[in-house]
A and B are shown apart, each in its own frame.
Chain A
Amino acid sequence: MLHIKCPHCGLRSQNEFSYGGDATVKRPELNKDVSDKDWDNFVYLRKSPRGKHLELWQHISGCRQWIKVERDTLTHEIFKTLKASEEA
């Protein structure tokens, strides 16, 4: 069971969190002409690397904030955690 350090609450067990996927995909800007390809990229296409992965988690049974976690998808080592607003 992973041990994730919420930037707001501290070190907590994985079962307090819910996973939100790749944090590097960028939503196309609003009120602009967005091509199908851009939407496709954002909604469906994922690199899913083996190794370092910046991802979103929500501290659902805690402060309920979204956070960013940099984790190794092979070893599950967590390198750092950030607030959702912070850049990696």
Chain B
Amino acid sequence: MSEHFRLDKGGLINRSKKISFKFNGKKYFGYEGDTLASALIANGVHLVGRSFKYHRPRGFFGAGVDEPYAIVQMNRNNEVDPNVRATEQELFEGLEAKSVNCWPNVDFDIGAINNFLGKFFPAGFYYKTFMWPKSFWYKIYEPIIRKAAGFGAASIKHDKERYEHKYEYCDLLITGSGPSGLASAYAAAQNGAKVILAEDKSRFGGSLLTSEVTIGNQSGQEWAEKIITELKSMPNVVVKNRSQVFGYYDHNMLVMSERISDHLPKSEKYIPKQRLWYIRAKEVIISSGSIERPLVFGNNDIPGVMLSSAAKEYLKIYGVLVGKKPLVFTNNDSGYETAIEFKKNGIDPIILDTRKDPNSEIIKEAKDLNINIKLSYVVVAAKGYKKVNSADIAKISEDKKKY
């Protein structure tokens, strides 16, 4: 299958190295530097799973650690890895993954009947029923409820992977390598401080990789590269990618999980899977940026409805279009960046902005590019089942009481 949604150029992937992988038994191609998510979207695959209770179709919502939907079952080194986020899993040759929480398959899932009976299953419905006759709870209801549990399947085999532990001390721990993290690391390191810079993703730079900014006379991305190269050469600095700081304990003890070989195919030589760092830091800078907050409207969980920041990331980092007829619904300027990025790549977006009369440089830029902007508009509901295909929109009335 060819990559209909991959742009001819652009992105930070290595186009000279093609990688084959399997999803739900079907073979696809992607590139080195892709995640499983970006490679699937490039191939036009948006239906990846089913929701927990109602078995509603699930696609990609984000592009990283914040992904709530695209959770898959991995098979690596003949060992299963349950509950892996497709947006975090880097592609490697021979990767195999499949959908979870659906039967017989993700496309035709019997459990989806719950979606149509949802009216009878409101939040906490089980507290109100299954009490009569008493013996049925133990013999019938409870076993059925328990059988429906879980997402991925774990193997009961002994985990043969190796995990390492490491203790470290530093003057300054910085979590996140965006502009503020890099600038802080650089300033502190030049003053002789012992610095650890942790980045969750495989690439350093954070928002500099997806924003059109300049620092001095360099693009944000070039600047990030320069600073990282310099930091790596300094003896008082430890720079770690694929490393997530996930706990902040008493007296400035932080824990960081470094993914060492989760992104690599099976290898003969011994490499640990992950390394757990215990870091006692004198000072900590949390520069982990922000995660976009989703907007509320009907069916905003249908595959194809996603964060606009994620759409931009798939474009800028992976050269992938999440769709060819994008509707950008926003209440601030950041949605415009995504729309402009689409436009630059030959795709015509529509912007719906809840604001009545917004004014800024980027809005002017969007107007100059002839992007269709509808002000004072909202999405009422997304339409479609396994993939979004349209949206009901409406204009906000003057008194904001109806639309």
Chain A residues in the interface with B (C-beta under 8 A): 1-3, 13, 76, 78
Contact = CB atoms under 8 A, between A and B. Distances in A.
B336 to A, nearest CB: 44
Dominant secondary structure of chain B at its interface with chain A: strand
Interface in B236-261: 249-253
Interface of B: 249-253, 278, 280
Nearest to A78: B251
16 contacts: A1-B249, A1-B250, A1-B251, A1-B253, A1-B278, A1-B280, A2-B250, A2-B251, A3-B251, A3-B252, A3-B253, A3-B280, A13-B280, A76-B250, A76-B251, A78-B251
A1 B280 CA distance: 9
A76 B249 CA distance: 11
Given A3-B251, A13-B280, A76-B251, 4 more contacts: A1-B249, A1-B253, A1-B280, A2-B250
Contacts of B252: 3
A5 to B, nearest CB: 11
A78 B249 CA distance: 15
Contacts of A76: 250-251
A13 B251 CA distance: 10
B182 to A, nearest CB: 29
Nearest to B254: A1
Contacts of A1: 249-251, 253, 278, 280
Nearest to B252: A3
Contacts of B280: 1, 3, 13
Contacts of A13: 280
Nearest to A1: B253
A2 B278 CA distance: 13
B165 to A, nearest CB: 12
Nearest to A75: B250
B124 to A, nearest CB: 34
A76 B248 CA distance: 14
A9 B249 CA distance: 23
A76 B253 CA distance: 13
A3 B253 CA distance: 9
Contacts of B253: 1, 3
A2 B249 CA distance: 8
A9 B250 CA distance: 21
